[in-house]
Structure formats: C-alpha cells, structure tokens
Structure 1
Amino acid sequence: MNYYDRHTDCCNCFDKVDERVFHYSNQSFGITLCRPCQNWFRDILDFTSATDESINLYFALRFRGVPAILEKNDGYKTIDIAVPEAKVNIEVDGGHHNFNSQQAMRDLERTLYSYKKGYSTLRIPNSLVKYNLDQAADKITEYLVVSRDKKFRRY
C-alpha cells in the first residue's frame, strides 16, 4: 500500500502539492490535487457522467493504495472505476439498476462482455457508498488483495 500525506500530497497521483495549490484545490474541489490532476478532474466533472458516489469511492480506494482508474472506456462502455492490474471493474449503481428490467439486462450484458475479456465486475449500490464509504472501500480493497493473491498462488 502506498503511504502519502492526505494534507500535502495529491489524492490522485500522490505528488507533493505546495501550499497555494493545496488551498486552491481544497477550496475548489474539496480534495488535494496537483495542477495536472486538477485539469484531469475538471474534465471528469465536465465531460463524463461520473456520479458523486463513484468519485468518492474512487478517491477512497486511491487513499488505500488501489491503482484505480476513474471513468475508463473499454471500447464498449465506460466503467465507473477500473482496476486493470486486478482485472476488476467496479460499477457504482443507483436504484434504477435494480428496478428497471431493461437496465438490469444491459448491466448483465456489460458484465458478460467484461467477463469474456477476463474481468470480473463488482456492482456497488450508491447507498453503500453514500452511507458506508470507508467500510465499502475497505471490503473492496480486501477483495482486490484476495483476488490478486489467488492469481499468484502456486498449486
């Protein structure tokens, strides 16, 4: 796991951030981001459909050292959070994913598409992220570690 100082390091790339950039970033975005990552984050906010819950989960995973990617396009769809190193996609879903049968079928098709490429998909409800962010991020990180360890275990 990467160690960094949440107060002086960029939450995305972990580079050191000077005091002026720190204050601007926290005032503008609510998190510490270096200048290049501020531009990246503005693009995420302006040009994607990333939800607050997927953004919050992404940064919670990054805080735990997970090499996650926010809003990754796999050629078929955009994944909320991808962890290519572990071959895991994380979809943060609102209630309509459970109550709309057409949406549920599209989700199943997307999951199958990813599975055929060797990726598993974790579906995390918005409510879990909204009300239990730290616990959810801890369990997802544990899942990723166990998954990684199983891949490297010799029989």
Structure 2
Amino acid sequence: MSTRGSTRGVVYVHSSPSAVCPHVEWAISGTLGARVDLKWTAQPASPGQLRAECGWRAPAGTGAKLAAALKAWPMIRFEVTEEPSAGVDGERFCFAPGLGLWHGRTSANGDIVVGEDQLRALVSMTRGGESLAHKLDELLAASWDEALEPFRHAGDGAPVTWLHQVG
C-alpha cells in the first residue's frame, strides 16, 4: 500500500446496541475497503451497550467518510479522529444522540483550531458576553465533550485494533 498522502486516525465507538455492531463494522469496512473485526466490550457507562476502537491508516479525508458512514445510526455514540498530514489539518468528528454530528479542525497536538473567519462571524452575530461564550462553546464542542466524557473514561485501557486501507 502506498502511504503517499496518507494519514491515520482512530474510530471510537463509545456505545452501540449489540444488534447494530455488525452494521458499524460493515460501515467501517466499506469505507476502508478492508474487512474489520472489532473487539467489542461492555460499555460500563451504559449497561447493555458495547464499545470498540480501531485505528486506521488511509488517505486524508477518510475521517469525514467514516463519520458520514457511522452517523446513519443515530443511537450510537462515536468519535473519529484524523491526524494532520502534509498540507492538511487534522479533524475530529463527534456524534451523540440528541446532539448530532460535530466537526472541527485540529492542530498537531489535538487542540481544536478556530479560524479567523469563524471568529469574525462569531463576534459579528453575538451581542453580549453570555451569547459569545455560548457560541464559543459550540465551536469547541463543549456539549459533545460533556455528553461523551463518561463513555471515554469507561474505555480507558481498552485495546485498539489498527487497520489499513487497501488499494
């Protein structure tokens, strides 16, 4: 496999009903073009739900494709990260039931990057400190972090399976 223009990232499925797990694997497999067999474990933060993680290596932009494929199941919680690569910012996608999909660019150390145009738009459409703080929280995914944090900690120390896109 050529690694030219490739990057890597991780898919974190924080919670999924067991009946949906095969569909999640198929979605990831279809996006990466390689069979995926995730190691599902119980999600202590949500009894009856399962969790899994997998690392991936594929062309830049694959993180967005993975997130688009996974959001088809609105009952799952997931995050997809894509590391920065030559000429391309990193990305982070978060999905939580009731909140939907959030997307942001990330720096090399994983911080969310808020661009100049985003800041100008934010300042021009808000009046007052409380409104500005709320909109800034939206840009920084505060609600998604709050919703996903208990599920993240429940997965500490879990095994990660590394996958590579074929072709």
- Do the two structures share a fold, i.e. TM-score over 0.5? no
TM-score by length of 1: 0.28
User: How high is the TM-score relative to the length of structure 2?
Assistant: 0.27
Q: Which has the higher helix share?
A: 1
